[in-house]
Structure 1
Amino acid sequence: MSAPERIPPRGVTTAELLTEGELTVRGRIREASNAVLLCDVSYAGREAACVYKPVAGEQPLWDFPDGTLAQREVAAYEVSEATGWGLVPPTVLRDGPYGEGMCQLWIESPDGDEGDGGGGALLALVDAEEPGDGWKAVGLAEVGEGRTALLVHADDERLRRLAVLDAVINNADRKGGHLLPAAGGRLYGIDHGVTFNTENKLRTLLWGWAGEKLTPEAVETLERLREALEGALGARLGELITQAELDATRARVAALLASGRHPEPSGEWPAIPWPPV
């Protein structure tokens, strides 16, 4: 199911539209394991398409017993905004037709875009032992009939930033289907309900930089993030996740800065989500 992205004109901010607007449910995205509703939201004569995920439609998770998926989705957006990278679509927590839930601006891929964001495919399976130029290896994947192929992702600045964000929020489910190219060469990540755990649960398709030095930009961003977590960002996250999860987030930022490198798989948790897309 698709819907046009209708950004509100100047005068009503996206946050106001999503928070104060009237939600009209258009349908359900049935591929999702939890309730995900495609809606129109309108406010002061402006409207947009959005996704509404009510807390009432969430399935309980034994390893994420605290808080809600909706709260963690909003927390991921707040961290993304604090980085200045804008990697998560505008996301708010609000009441809706089925109670409190997460409301996120719908992102439509550019016309004619087959998932490459105008800059080449982001993920691929190749019949090779090493990735080609412009690609980073993730690992071998079974492709049927006893055959394997090398899973690779693009050596793309946007993905590298997203890999850093995922390390900070401890994303346990970065699948290929959660990458949304958008107009103007933008790239968004979505579905951040299983994040911020106090235990190391990082599972991602973006392992291509594992062990490599962080870029100077990433280091500078993490320094700002560390400061923000002691101020307004920390206070905001304290409304959405537990104190232990907030402390763990601070510790992950500090660890990234101390090592100066992208994290590597711990071996204590499956490194790649399943299914990968």
Structure 2
Amino acid sequence: MTPAIDLDTDVLELTGRIRTASNATFLGSIGGVQVVYKPITGEKPLWDFPDGNLAGREVAAYAVSQSFGWNVVPRTWLRDGPMGPGMVQLWQDADPDQDAVDLVSADAVPGEGWRQVLEGSDEKGRPVALIHEDSAALRRMAVFDIVVNNADRKGYHILAMKDGHRHGVDHGVTFHTEHKLRTVLWGWLGDELTSDELAGIDRVMTHLTGELRVTLADLIGAAEIDALAARCTRLRAEACFPAPEGDMSAVPWPLF
């Protein structure tokens, strides 16, 4: 009988490195299960987030995703690895033939099934438009991002799966107490939330009175947990997709 794989304690072997990532990010394998590994020692300091805390924020984002019940974030946990403790996440095989977010010529924006976010110019001065699909799966991700205050929802942080599901990855800059929402998913601005989306927020709010708050207490600060609860309350009361706030850019850069 083949022994069961223990993702927490079995050896994590490195198989490659993702060099496009801003922080040290590796591909790995635990008993044949493919994972992404981000050691805390490889995190670059940020001026507005605590040092050595990005891995914890990624795990906190997974915990909130679980409370929503939408499987937005792939399984993510903290464990030791070849370069010390860090975040580990199950690898996802995205469909290379699908793009949930895209840049297209401004005169070729598709209609039904897509939402336009903004217009601009490419490196050759040609007018282009940032668009994303109009799907229930992507709407759920947008709601999730509002709640966790995601400061970096780039296009390539959205994994389009073959079955139509959409996973979100790279959640190290989340849960700030100040408004930090930067995302490419602005296409539903002002639209009312669906009953399913409101029910998801209700689940998070309920869990924040119990087990979820306990889990998050080991990962982010108390003030950040309170801010998370306040964002849920506000979004639930307004029941629609909010507009950008403040003077900062509403979209991340680069977009992808």
With normalisation by structure 1, the TM-score equals 0.87
Checking the alignment, whether the CA contact within 8 Å between 2:103 and 2:128 is kept in structure 1 is no
Q: Secondary structure at the match of 1:188?
A: strand
For residue 207 of structure 1, the aligned residue among 178, 181, 186 is 186
Matched ranges for 1:53-202 at <5 A: 53-65=38-50, 68-110=53-95, 113-116=96-99, 121-128=100-107, 132-202=111-181
Specify the code of the residue in structure 2 equivalent to 1:178.
Answer: H
Counterpart Cα distance in 1 of 2:162 and 2:111: 27
State whether residues 76 and 90 of structure 2, in contact with CA within 8 Å, keep that contact through their aligned partners in structure 1. yes
Corresponding position of 1:37: 26
Q: Deviations over 1:91-130 (max 9, x none)?
A: 00111111110000011124xx3234xxxx5424232397
Q: Deviations over 1:217-270 (max 9, x none)?
A: 111111111010111011101110000110000000000011111121113321
CA distance in structure 2 between the partners assigned to 1:69 and 1:23 by the alignment? 20
Change (3 A) 1:130 1:114: closer
Name the % identity: 48
Where do 1:184-263 residues align within 5 Å?
A: 184-263=163-242
Q: How many Å separate the matches in 2 of 1:181 and 1:19?
A: 27
Q: Which moved more, 1:149-158 or 1:171-180?
A: 149-158
* Amino acid in structure 2 at the alignment position of 1:36: T
1:18 alignment partner, SS class: coil
Q: Is the 8 A contact 1:66 1:242 kept in 2?
A: no
Residues 66, 257 of structure 1: alpha-carbon distance in 2 compared, 3 angstrom cutoff: farther
Separation (CA, whole Å) in 2 of partners of 1:223 and 1:200? 21
Letter in 2 for 1:52: Y
1:131: how far off? 5.6
Amino acid at match of 1:107: Q
Match of 1:19 in 2: 8
Q: 1:227 to 1:56 in 2, by over 3 A?
A: same
- TM-score normalized with structure 2 length: 0.94
Please say if residues 18 and 105 of structure 1, whose CA atoms lie closer than 8 Å, have aligned partners that are also in contact. Answer: no
Kindly indicate whether the alpha-carbon contact (under 8 Å) linking 2:189 and 2:242 is maintained by their aligned counterparts in 1: yes
Whichever residue aligns with residue 39 of structure 1, its letter is G
Match of 2:251 in 1: 272
Give the AA of the match of 2:10.
G
Q: Which amino acid aligns with 2:97?
A: E
Indicate the SS of the match to 2:204: helix
Determine the C-alpha separation between the residues in 1 that align with 2:210 and 2:121: 46
1:69 touches 1:193 (CA, 8 Å); kept in 2? yes
SS at match of 1:230: coil
Q: Secondary structure, in 3 states, of the residue corresponding to 1:79?
A: helix
Conserved? CA contact 1:139–1:150, under 8 Å: yes
Runs of 4+ in 1 over 6 A off after TM superposition: none
Residue equivalent to 1:5? none
Letter in 2 for 1:206: L
Deviation of 1:50 (Å): 0.4
User: What is the aligned-residue RMSD (CA, Å)?
Assistant: 1.9
Partner amino acid for 2:138? L
- SS of 1:27 mapped into structure 2: strand
Cα separation, 1, equivalents of 2:194 and 2:207? 20
Is the 2:101–2:130 Cα contact (8 Å) retained in structure 1?
no
